[in-house]
Amino acid sequence: MSINKLLFYISLFSRVIPGFILFIFSGTIVAGIHLLKPVLLEMKTFHHFCQPDQKTCETQILWINLLPIGIAAGVNATSILMGIAHDKWGGKRAYLIILVLLMTLSGILFSLFLAWDKLWQNFFWAPALLGVILVNSSAGLFFLLMSYAFVPGVSTRLSTILQSIFVTGWDLCASVFFIHVGLFKLGVPLLYSLLLTFTLSGAIWMIFVLLSKVSPYEEKPMEEEAESTPMIPMDNQPTPQTSAWSNILSPTFLVLFFWKTVSFLWFVTFIGTVYDRAYFLSGGNQEVADHHTYVFSVIFPFVGAICGLFSGIVLYYIRLSSIILTVLSTVSCILITIPYLPAQYATYVIFSAWRIFSFQFVYSFVKEFYPITQFGVLTTIQFSVAGLIAYSSWGINAFVFRVLNGDFFIVNVGMSVISFVAHLMFIGVVFVKSHQQRKASEEAQSVQDASSEL
């Protein structure tokens, strides 16, 4: 390895790793918001919808469910703004400063609303909106860190390692929220622990941004990288000359849209109803429901972190990873339809493993088959469409509670069938694109060999 290459890697890690470690503490909302349901029930949030003698009621649970659904769907629905900003400004310092300020201020306000449940009940839209801003700014930082894996000069092997590190840390965010819940159980007000987290992480992040050197994207324009990176034809047209919207409206990308939308709807529906499923299967035992919520909150980040350690390497073999995704999805769908509570422990493990590969596959697919200059838009538009449709999850919850009396069996079967079909279509797209890539590579090699002979 040359000295220049070594210095490049040292410079890259000196910018990414310190900020990434601090980012773990600021990204807790998106990864662990579902853990708050037992806490909010204990705080009697929205209890005014119930009768005075009731410990809890369906309307109260539906309104509490709306917060994680609103945040998870909202951040995805608006993530296209982050994608456009990323492609336009990359890692410029002013852009980073705006993200950190948004993250810190919205996090502080979110903490105030979340802790003062009466204020939340009167202005429910406020914490949901603040949560979307908070998660968008945190996700923007994460998105920028993920894109560092694809900057000029980074080898494919290092790129997969960086992806694994980033995704692993993202899942560990949920474990930080678990600490907040634990402190609440020990008597520490939720307001204090959240305020401390956002204030400190925001201040340290700002110091990091102000002292950091120029970002990798500013060392070499993205357009130069796009010209030097071999791309495969997209729908029989040269990819570098194909606009982002032409790629988005292509049949290949529309299938990817369908798969991502179904996957995210299933994801939001599942994580938002872990407590409710356990409550129904246990015959209305709130202690059992609390136990399963906390078990899932432990399994979800740590299984994701373990899978994240090698997910980048697995996703390098894109056809194999698509098969693994489909197998994990199918197994988790089968397990969740079993109306036996102990079987749900296995569901939590398989679902968490599927989710980490599903989440990261979007980045790998776009990186593999599309220009780097369109990375932000092509990645985030999938999350935006999926996020808008994911709002229907709240309607699904209302249907289950009001019509099916809390029994998720029909929903589980229906979502399982749709998810299986989406994954089969998704495998077909991956294999077709891989074949096109291999064919284009062989043709390019043949042309190169012929020109060398002349």
Is the pLDDT confidence value at 239 over 60? no
- pLDDT range class, residue 224, cuts 50, 70, 90: very low
- Retrieve residue 297's tokens: 């909150």
Q: How many CA atoms lie within 13 A of 156 on its CB side?
A: 9
User: Residue 128 is part of a domain; what is its CATH number?
Assistant: 1.20.1250.20
276 part of a folded domain: yes
Global pTM exceeds 0.75? no
Question: Span 353-369, mean pLDDT?
Answer: 78
- For residue 236, the tally of other CB atoms under 10 A from its CB is 6
How many angstroms separate the CA atoms of 281 and 414, rounded? 19
How many angstroms separate the CA atoms of 407 and 420, rounded? 22
230 part of a folded domain: no
231 part of a folded domain: no
User: Would you state the pLDDT for residue 346?
Assistant: 92
Which residue would you say has higher pLDDT here, 122 or 188?
188
Residue pair 274/291 in contact (Cβ under 8 Å)? The answer is: no
- DSSP-derived 3-state class of residue 325: helix
Q: How many domains does the chain have?
A: 1
426 part of a folded domain: yes
66 part of a folded domain: yes
Of 23-27, 53-57, 203-207, 339-343, the range with the highest mean pLDDT is 339-343
Question: Span 56-80, mean pLDDT?
Answer: 69
User: Would you state the pLDDT for residue 116?
Assistant: 64
- One-letter amino acid at 377 equals V
Q: How many CA atoms lie within 13 A of 172 on its CB side?
A: 16
Is the pLDDT confidence value at 454 over 70? no
449 part of a folded domain: no
DSSP 77: H
80 part of a folded domain: yes
